[in-house]
């Protein structure tokens, strides 16, 4: 698997397979197992950077960023190479102190077939379900918002891969990306998060970013304008 090619899609697709000297990386399994310290640190940093008016706003943004990384690390290799790394929570190490995109390195390099079933198992079941539980402990966020974040993150990864495929003249990558996205969004928790299930995705919930000073609306925001403001120029 060509990790340099994968990283060339964008920063959310970059993956290292060696430890980072001096990093504060911890296995994500520790976060999922109830060790909330790293998650609290991450939410604190996001809250400080964005001047978030409420802790759950920062928690939502932190969750969205990590969900985007997780989808990208599975969907990207599946679309580019027809296989993906096994992203087990014990092997995938995360640094809560790093700037966005979230810094990750993988301690094992086992590979799986690049099917939607394997992408779903690695990301949705392996990470997003326990990650949502951890963030709900930290930020008191509704499941609907968290799954909306997951859908938005998946659509964002699809969008970046389709741009890469167009620029690089890789219609095969575009075709695999669209096929994988169609299957991944055909999930009880994802299919109702927004539509259409592709690069023009618009979510049906809000990540709350608009509540940060100068935050504005995300490109796929459920709102046409931030509540209490004049209409935005979409």
Count of domains for the chain:
1
**pTM metric for this prediction:** 0.91
Question: Looking at the domain assignment, is residue 226 inside a domain?
Answer: no
Range of the domain at 17: 3-211
Determine, yes or no, domain membership for 45: yes
Q: Phi and psi for 92 in degrees, rounded to 5?
A: -90, 115
Asked whether the beta carbons of 204 and 193 are under 8 A apart, the reply is yes
Residue 233 CB-density burial (10 A; 0-12 exposed, 13-18 middle, 19+ buried): exposed
Q: Is residue 131 part of a domain?
A: yes
Per the domain annotation, does 118 fall within a domain? Answer: yes
Give the mean pLDDT of 119-123: 96
Burial class (CB in 10 A: 0-12, 13-18, 19+), 202: middle
pLDDT at 139 over 60: yes
Residue bearing the bigger pLDDT, 85 or 138: 85
227 located within any domain: no
With respect to residue 233, please indicate whether it lies within any of the assigned structural domains: no
In a domain, 230, yes or no: no
Measured distance CA(125)–CA(179) in Å, rounded? 20
In a domain, 54, yes or no: yes
Helix (H) or strand (E) holding 95: strand 92-95
């Amino acid at each position: 698997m060509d990790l340099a090619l994968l990283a060339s899609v964008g920063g959310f697709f970059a993956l290292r397979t060696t430890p980072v000297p001096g990093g504060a990386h911890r296995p994500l399994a520790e976060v999922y197992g109830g060790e909330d310290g790293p998650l609290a640190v991450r939410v604190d940093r996001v809250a400080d950077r964005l001047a978030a008016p409420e802790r759950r706003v920062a928690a939502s943004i932190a969750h969205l960023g990590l969900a985007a990384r997780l989808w990208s690390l599975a969907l990207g290799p599946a679309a580019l190479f027809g296989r993906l790394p096994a992203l087990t929570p014990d092997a995938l190490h995360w640094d809560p102190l790093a700037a966005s995109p979230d810094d990750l390195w993988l301690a094992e390099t086992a590979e799986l077939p690049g099917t939607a079933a394997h992408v779903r198992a690695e990301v949705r079941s392996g990470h997003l379900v326990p990650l949502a539980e951890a963030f709900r402990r930290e930020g008191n966020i509704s499941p609907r918002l968290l799954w909306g974040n997951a859908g938005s993150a998946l659509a964002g990864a699809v969008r970046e891969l389709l741009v890469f495929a167009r620029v690089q003249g890789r219609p095969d990558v575009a075709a695999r990306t669209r096929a994988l996205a169609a299957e991944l969004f055909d999930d009880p928790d994802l299919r109702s998060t927004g539509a259409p299930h592709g690069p023009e995705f618009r979510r049906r919930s809000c990540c709350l970013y608009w509540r940060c000073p100068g935050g504005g609306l995300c490109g796929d925001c459920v709102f046409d304008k931030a509540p209490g403001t004049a209409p935005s120029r979409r």
